[in-house]
Amino acid sequence: MRKFFRFLLALAGIFIGFGVAFYVNMALNHFGINLIPRYQDIVLYILFALIFGTIIFLMSSGIIKHAYSLLEWVETRLGEMPISDIVAGSIGFIIGLLIAYLISYPISRLELPWVSIILTIGLYVFFGYIGVSTAVKRREELASFSLFRRFGREKAYKEDQAPASVPKVLDTSVIIDGRIFDICQTGFIEGPLIIPSFVLRELRHIADSSDTLKRNRGRRGLDILNRIQKELDIEVKTFEKDFEDIAEVDIKLLKLGQLLGAKVITNDYNLNKVAEFQGVSVLNINELANAVKPVVLPGEELVVQVIKEGKEMGQGIAYLDDGTMIVVDGGKKHVGDTIDVIVTSVLQTAAGRMIFAKPKSIERIVS
């Protein structure tokens, strides 16, 4: 299909070359310039056709790429607009074109062809825009007409419903992590989930790695995606477009988030910072995990089992059920025992939460 479009563009370039050759030939004849006797017309047509056909053919890849981007942008924006706005805007656009036609008709009869063409194009653009803008801004008044009542009711009904969910783009790290499946299963994250093609390629590359650990992580990620699609009632879409001019996957994710107006789900702290700088919304799984951990305040009593010695002298290390580390001052002698401790302070870091405590008494509680 891409080759077919490139052929059509090259053909259009040839026709443009014919048109340019026609006007150049007219200018040469007008001034009595005859560069090639007898064959000047044919040579000009062939020369300009080859030049413009070749130029357009060489530019065709970029033209097709930007055309696809424009179509996707238009499709995304139209998908976000209410049907009443689309109908009102379309009718306003048609009315604007009709007004432009009536005004431009006498202008088209001017003896200055280039002036009439420029004025006509300007009138069509101006009145087309005015028609769309006026119709959309006054759609409530248009809704009073019987033709638009149906659309007005439909819009009111949709506004009473819950707003459409924002798309969520999944990062490679969060797919491999696996917790995204459990979060989606609880219903706290709504679809659609967007799986970019470049993320799938990265997952397949990891799954085919010669390193056993990386290979297992890649296969786990692919299994998680299959489970989300098969076991959960959530919409999953694949985004096929790739940003070939961008090398890093993280930057591609942020670019896709900007393009779709989506949020990026990740557990990469550095990606969070870059996304914040670029104005892209991010849902961080690690931040969510920290947010739902039980709140512990200084002075509270806990029952913990001291697992091992700490880094500092006399310290012992324990853990809560959610994995939060507790540093017990003076807990080294209680390693292997379950004891009562009193929370002295809580430290929240980017890596997670850390609790400092001290034994309530020297008596041991056998678990």
Using the 8-state DSSP alphabet, how is residue 361 labeled? Answer: -
Which residue range is the domain that position 338 belongs to? 301-359
For residues 53 and 134, membership in a common domain is answered with yes
As to burial, measured by CB atoms within 10 angstroms (0-12 exposed, 13-18 middle, 19+ buried), residue 257 is buried
Domain annotation covers residue 260: yes
How close are the terminal C-alpha atoms of the chain, in Å? 71
pLDDT at 290 over 70: yes
As to burial, measured by CB atoms within 10 angstroms (0-12 exposed, 13-18 middle, 19+ buried), residue 33 is exposed
pLDDT at 122 over 60: yes
Query: Which of 21-35, 40-54, 307-321 is predicted with the least confidence, judged by mean pLDDT?
Result: 21-35
User: Looking at residue 111, what is its pLDDT?
Assistant: 63
| Strand 168-170, strand 193-196: pairing | parallel
CATH of the domain at 312: 2.40.50.140
C-alpha to C-alpha distances, 140 to 12, 144, 159, 195, 347, nearest whole angstrom? 44, 7, 14, 38, 55
Query: What is the pTM assigned to this prediction?
Result: 0.45
Domain annotation covers residue 44: yes
For residues 131 and 9, membership in a common domain is answered with yes
User: Looking at residue 316, what is its pLDDT?
Assistant: 92
For residues 42 and 135, membership in a common domain is answered with yes
User: Looking at residue 10, what is its pLDDT?
Assistant: 85
Indicate the average pLDDT of the chain.
80
For residues 315 and 282, membership in a common domain is answered with no
Domain annotation covers residue 63: yes
User: Looking at residue 146, what is its pLDDT?
Assistant: 47
> Which of 266, 290, 314 is the last residue before a domain boundary?
290
Q: What is the mean pLDDT of residues 62-78?
A: 79
> Which of 245, 266, 290 is the last residue before a domain boundary?
290
For residues 206 and 236, membership in a common domain is answered with yes
For residues 286 and 305, membership in a common domain is answered with no
Domain annotation covers residue 191: yes
For residues 325 and 284, membership in a common domain is answered with no
Domains contained in the chain, number: 3
Of 287, 281, 300, 284, nearest in space to 346 by CA: 300
DSSP 253-293: HHHHHHHHT-EEEE--HHHHHHHHHHT--EEEHHHHHHHTS
Domain annotation covers residue 26: yes
- Type of residue at 314: G
Q: Which residue has the higher pLDDT, 28 or 302?
A: 302
Domain annotation covers residue 123: yes
Domain annotation covers residue 148: no
For residues 237 and 203, membership in a common domain is answered with yes
Q: What pLDDT digit, counting tens, does each position of 212-242 carry?
A: 888 898 898 899 888 888 888 888 888 888 8
For residues 10 and 125, membership in a common domain is answered with yes
Structure tokens at 141: 């008044």
Q: Which residue has the higher pLDDT, 213 or 37?
A: 213
C-alpha to C-alpha distances, 251 to 34, 73, 169, 262, nearest whole angstrom? 58, 19, 13, 14
For residues 197 and 326, membership in a common domain is answered with no
Confidence of residue 112 (pLDDT cuts 50, 70, 90): low
Q: What pLDDT digit, counting tens, does each position of 256-275 carry?
A: 888 888 888 888 888 888 88
For residues 172 and 263, membership in a common domain is answered with yes
Of 290, 364, 291, nearest in space to 325 by CA: 290
- Helices vs. strands in the chain: H and E counts, helices first: 13, 10
User: Looking at residue 351, what is its pLDDT?
Assistant: 60
Q: What phi, psi does 195 have (nearest 5°)?
A: -110, 105
pLDDT at 163 over 60: no
For residues 96 and 121, membership in a common domain is answered with yes
Domain annotation covers residue 114: yes
